[in-house]
Structure 1
Amino acid sequence: MTTIREARPADVPVILQLIHDLALYEREPDAVKNTAESLRNALFGERPSIFAHVAEDHHQVQGFALWFLNYSTWEGVNGIYLEDLYVRPEARGAGHGKALLANLARIAADRGYARVEWSVLDWNGPSIRFYESLGARPQSGWSTFRLTGDALAEVAALR
């Protein structure tokens, strides 16, 4: 039976391991620079900037959802941006991912948020089919942009 609960400080090592597992699944095994200390501070520090829930089955964490608040200037309310949703391969199909997304949808609905949104890699057919089965739809007409590395530093230096 799946239990969804807020992450606790003791969950940081397993969440970090699942982040590494997700990076491997997404074909970026060396991309994770996060540390337990950084993750713990972001989740549980003086000014938390992210939130996480875990899916447990028989008292073992099987997956997690890590998210933060965004804001819709048009709607005038917050929304949830789901940064990561990951379920261990051996635990897939047991409803953990669906339970994690349903939990976020309840949070959004209960708090009057306008939406829950996320990105998915174009090649990730199983995830796309799963999200669509829940009624989620891709946003046409929008492209994701990102500033990182040298470009971020150059723009930051503009006066």
Structure 2
Amino acid sequence: MTDALVRHARPEDLDRVAALAAEHAAYEKAAPPPPDLAARLHRLLFETTAPRLRCLVAELPDTTLAGYATCAPELSTWSATEYLHMDCLYLTEHSRGHGLGPLLVTAIRTEARALGLTEIQWQTPTWNEGAIRFYDRLGATPKPKLRYSLPTD
């Protein structure tokens, strides 16, 4: 799979990205995304003059999308700097271990540099030992924290 291409998602990719996101949610034992996820992603990625969200896809030589990564600039109060938050990185089970993960991370790093950002941050479930080994091999440093969510209603 080293002939895979990592590129920015296009509008016609969003149904597949939404399907991959649903696989990702199931893999992480999370609630499924909303049924209109592709339309929501379209609004975030393509219907604004300054999109906050970026989506990269791993495309195989046969044009199948085998995975995706999303990211958005965020702020750190403690360092008073911006960083790139990698919200998702997912590859189909069949596509793991073939070098696509490093390609996606390299593309995320390129995205950060293009935005003038010097750091990328992300999280992964503590039980996801495969992802933890992958991130450790990249030279990433874990920062243990619990993530909370609170509805506004």
What range describes the TM-score normalised by the shorter chain of this pair? 0.7 to 0.9
Structure 1 distance, partners of 2:117, 2:79, is 9
Unaligned runs of 5+ in 1: 154-159
TM-score (norm 1): 0.84
Identity of aligned residues (%): 29
1:94-120, Cα deviation, whole Å (9 max, x unpaired) = 111110001111222343313111110
Q: Compared with structure 1, are the counterparts of its residues 27 and 73 closer, same or farther at alpha carbon in structure 2 (3 Å cutoff)? A: closer
Supply the RMSD in Å over aligned alpha carbons.
1.7
Match of 1:81 in 2: 85
| Structure with the larger RCO, 1 or 2 (CA within 8 Å, 6+ apart) | 2
Residue 92 of structure 1, CA deviation: 0.9
After superposition, residues 34-113 of structure 1 pair within 5 angstroms as 35=36, 36-47=38-49, 48-58=51-61, 59-113=63-117
TM-score (norm 2): 0.87
Match of 1:31 in 2: 32
Structure 1 distance, partners of 2:89, 2:147, is 18
Structure 1 distance, partners of 2:41, 2:111, is 22
**Are 2:150 and 1:147 equivalent residues in the alignment?**
yes
Residue 74 of structure 1, CA deviation: 4.8
The answer as to whether partners of 1:77 and 1:114 remain within 8 angstroms in 2 is no
Larger radius of gyration: 1
Unaligned runs of 5+ in 2: none
Residue 64 of structure 1, CA deviation: 0.4
